[in-house]
Structure formats: C-alpha cells, structure tokens
Chain A
C-alpha cells in the first residue's frame, strides 16, 4: 500500500515537473506576440515613413532624411519648442505646487483627509482631455462664468493662450504630482528629522540638507513624469485652443488629417519620431532616478 502510494507520488511529481516547464514561458508568448504586432507594426511604420518620401508623380518611394530636417524647421520647429516649453513649465509649476500639497496631506494625522485627497487626485489626474477643456472654457473662456462676472477680459485675460494652457494643464498635473510624490514623502523617516535636529540643524536646514536631497530623485522623477504627460497631451489643447498655440501634437494631427497641406503625412511621422525621441530621453532620465529613490526610501 505504502509502496504503491509512493510510486504514484513520484510519478505525479515527475509529470508535474515536466508539465511545469512548458506553461512558464508559453503564458508570456501571447503578450509578446500581441505587442510585437499591435505596437511593433505602427512603430516600424512610423520609423519607415519618417525616412521615406513618395514621389507624387511616379508614386515611387525613396529613403531620405528630409522629413526629419523639415520637422525641425519653420512652424514645425516652433511647435516642437512650444510643446517642450509648455510641458517643462507646467511640469515645474505642478511639481513645485504639488510638493507642499502632498506634504500637507502626509503630515496631517487625519486619515480621512489623506484618503479624500488621494482619491480626488486619482480622479483628477485621469480627468484630462476634452471634458477638462470644456470645464475651463465654461469657467475662464470668453463667455466663462468667472470671465464675465469678474470682467477678466478687461484685464487682458485670454484662456486660449500659452498661459491659459498652463493653467489648465496644472489641473491634472498637480494631482499627478501629489500621487507620485506622496509615497516618497511617506518614506521620509521621522528619525531623519530628529537626527538632523539632534545634530544642531534647524527645521529649515533639515529640509535644505536632508529632506530635499533625499527627495530629489523622486522630485525629478515626478517632474519627468509630468513633463511626459503634458508633452503627450493633445485632446485638451485641441478642444481648447484649436491651433492658436503652436504645439507639436496639434501639428501632427493637422498634418495627418491633411488639414494644412496634402502629402504632409511623412512629416507628421517625422514629428512623431521627434516626440518619441524626446519622450525616450525623458524616460532614460527617469528610470535610474526611480531606482535610486526606491533604494533610499524603502531601506
């Protein structure tokens, strides 16, 4: 009886081992295959198109860098620079404003306040796009409630401008910053503050020499994330300013839908490639920072 049981067990264990080998990587295959097609194809198409020109007469294609150089000139360059400027500025402001807000929440002992602010941040960080644009149009647009009641137009207020966009972008960037930086602030240990005071540091010196340097990777990481988010944003700008403010996303959309000139699709792809390069650069900065702050704050 015992003997048969043991033999059965061994057999079961062996077959288990044999079977366990296969599903391991097989389960990953669909994911990788799907991404290869759904993401890889468009990416390759973009890359290929960015370096291709099609002769309108003969219909033949040839490889060239002219799309790319076109995309870095004239109105396209203006749009690219405009996007970078808008994203960088909004991200800096959101980071600077989001930090004290997150600190106000973290340093509070009220659990309800913390939950409320974090939940609200979760919603607002996702509240981009068209609805956000319309909410601001209703508030601060030409016929907006505040514009009309406070006669803002007399003071030169214009929502459909660079600074108007900054104001709107902050609406989802600040909550995003709060979500990003809160875990880092939670990771600041009370002992660090006490050890600093114990070593003769004032409260200000503690922030200057301990808290901010420790938070620096997270702050920079947060900034990078916000930058990427603002840089990629299209819907808000499209719904709000049309093309009053030159932005690279608006340029790509116009070129793609043939609004400006026919045959600009490949320049749109080159612009897309520019965007990917900027975003990739930003990611390359972000990842090592993320790793460092994780090491400091989780120890």
Chain B
C-alpha cells in the first residue's frame, strides 16, 4: 500500500516536472541551436549590446525601486497603526486594498488613459496641466509608479497583514516604549525587524510585478523591460527567447535570495 502510494506520487511529480521543464529546456535549445549555424551563443552575447536593452532594464529597475519605496511607505505605517490604535478602520483599509484585484490591469489602464486625456482636453490652461505632462515624462514615467503601487497594494497588504498576525505589535511597542524608546524608534527598532520576512515578501512580490508588467506600460506607450522583450520578439526571435530565459533565471535568483534571507521567518510563521 505504501509502495503504491509512492509510485503514484512519483508519477504525478514526474509528469509535472516534464511539463514545467520542457519549455525551459526547449527555449534554451532554441536559442543556442540556430538552423544553419549550429550551436552558437550569439543570441546571449548580442543581448547586452542590443538597442534599448540596458535603458529598458534600467527603467524597469528604477520603476521597481520607486514602486517598492512608495508602496511600503504608504502601507507599513497604515497596517501598524491599524493594529495599534485604529482597529475600526481595518475593514475599510482591507476593502480599499482589495479593490484593485477586481479591476484587471487592462481595465485599469483604460481608466488611466481616459484620465490622462483630461489633461490636454480640459486642463490645458491650468497649472495642473504641467503635472499631467510631468507624470508622463518618458525618462521616468511617474504615472507607471502610481499605477504599479495600486496594482501591488493587494499583495503587499496581505503579505504585511500575514506578517503582523505572527507578531504581537502592541506588546512589542509597549515594551520598547517602556524601555524609553520614542514612537518612531519603537517602530523602527522593535516592529520593523520583526516584520523582516513580511517586508521582504512584499518587496519581492512588487519587484516581480513591476519587472514583468506589460499591459499598463505598453498601452501608455512606455518601454520598460517587458515591453522591450515584446518589441524585440518581432524582429529577433532568438534573442527575445534568450532574454525570456534570462528573465526567468533572474526571477529564480531573486526568489531564492529572498527565501535565504527570510526563510527562517517563513517557517516560524507557518508553524505559529
């Protein structure tokens, strides 16, 4: 009976491994085995020098950093305050932070496009118009950061909420306060270190979201990394697949780094 169970398990895992590994293996093969040229790593060596690669990757990373900073600055004080002194606002914040889940990115961007059109249509004579232009600066489109923060809110809120559930914030703060810490000190020295796992988790989710985001950026006409891969795909098939493979590897590396940094927290909270 036990053996049959094992057989069943290995069959399931084996099939899953096949399905998930074949596309990756095939992609690698596709990029290095070019018909007529034999095995070549050109697709990979060309990436760095490719037009727009560095600038789009940098743009994506900058957007990611900005988004993470803004979303954490907005949510961390709010969720801590909800635990400490404003529990009645909790359902409100929970709903507000879940709302973006109901609006698919494509619908969200449709709304943004409409709002941005108000600029030239209605506001061209007011100082607000300058703001509308500024947020759409192609060098650093603030509007994307704003959109990504909204899109990341549900995940970040959940990650932080789960992290806080495992920590008795009130006791921590009271203990820190009774040791003479000021409010900001208590927050930074006592609460945040205990939220390390949750913060890392939230940051990773946001990072993954921003690096992979395509819909909003493309429809607003910007070219961060995901859009660049798409644009390159039309002309250079090999290279676009090579970049796809690389981007997957990068995601792996990031997640493993996160698991390494926050691993202990994760197991601790899963047991509690």
Direct contact between the two chains A and B in their complex (CB within 8 A):
yes
B80 touches A27 (CB 8 A): yes
B229 part of interface (Cβ distance < 8 Å): yes
Most buried by B among A16, A24, A273: A24
* Contact of A39 (CB < 8 Å), options: B75, B82, B99: B99
In whole angstroms, how far apart are the Cα atoms of A134 and B247 in the complex? Answer: 12
Given known A-B contacts A130-B230, A138-B241, A45 and B104 have beta carbons under 8 A apart: no
How many angstroms between the C-alpha atoms of A28 and B97 in the bound complex?
12
A residues adjacent to B (C-beta < 8 A): 16, 19-21, 23-28, 30-32, 34-35, 38-39, 41-46, 48-49, 100-101, 103-105, 107-108, 113, 115, 117, 119-120, 122-124, 126-132, 134-140, 143-146, 170-171, 174, 228, 231-232, 234-235, 238-239, 249, 252-253, 256-257, 265, 268-269, 271-273, 275-276, 279-280, 283
- Please give, as numbers and ranges, the residues of chain A lying within 8 Å of B215 by CB-CB distance: 234-235, 249, 253
The answer to whether residues A38 and B93 also contact, given A130-B226, A276-B103 and a CB cut-off of 8 A, is no
Considering the complex, give the chain A residue whose CB is closest to the CB of B1.
Answer: A203
B26 touches A146 (CB 8 A): yes
- Establish whether residues B259 and A119, one from each chain, have CB atoms under 8 Å apart when the complex forms: yes
Neighbouring B residues of A31 by C-beta, 8 Å: 74-75, 78, 93, 96
Residue picked from B78, B82, B102, B112, most chain A C-beta under 10 Å = B102
- Taking the closest CB of chain B, its distance from the CB of A226, in whole angstroms, is 13
B50 at the A interface (CB under 8 A):
no
Q: How far is the CB of B79 from chain A (nearest CB, A)?
A: 9
Given A24-B81, A279-B101, check contact A138 B115 (CB 8 Å): no
B16 contacts which chain A residues (CB < 8 A)?
Answer: 101, 174
Known: A20-B85, A27-B78, A123-B255. A139 touches B22 (CB 8 A): yes
Cβ-closest chain B residue relative to A236: B214
Residues of B within 8 A of A107 (CB): 5, 9
The answer to the question of B146 belonging to the interface, with a C-beta cut-off of 8 Å to chain A, is yes
Q: Say whether A23 contacts B85, CB under 8 Å.
A: yes
Query: How far is it, in angstroms, between the C-alpha of A23 and the C-alpha of B229 when the chains are bound?
Result: 45
Binding site for A on B (CB under 8 A): 5, 8-9, 12-13, 16, 19-20, 22-24, 26-27, 29-31, 33, 73-75, 77-78, 80-82, 84-86, 89, 92-93, 96-115, 118, 146-147, 149-150, 153, 177, 183, 205, 208-209, 212-215, 218-219, 226-227, 229-230, 233, 237, 240-241, 243-245, 247-248, 251-252, 255-256, 259
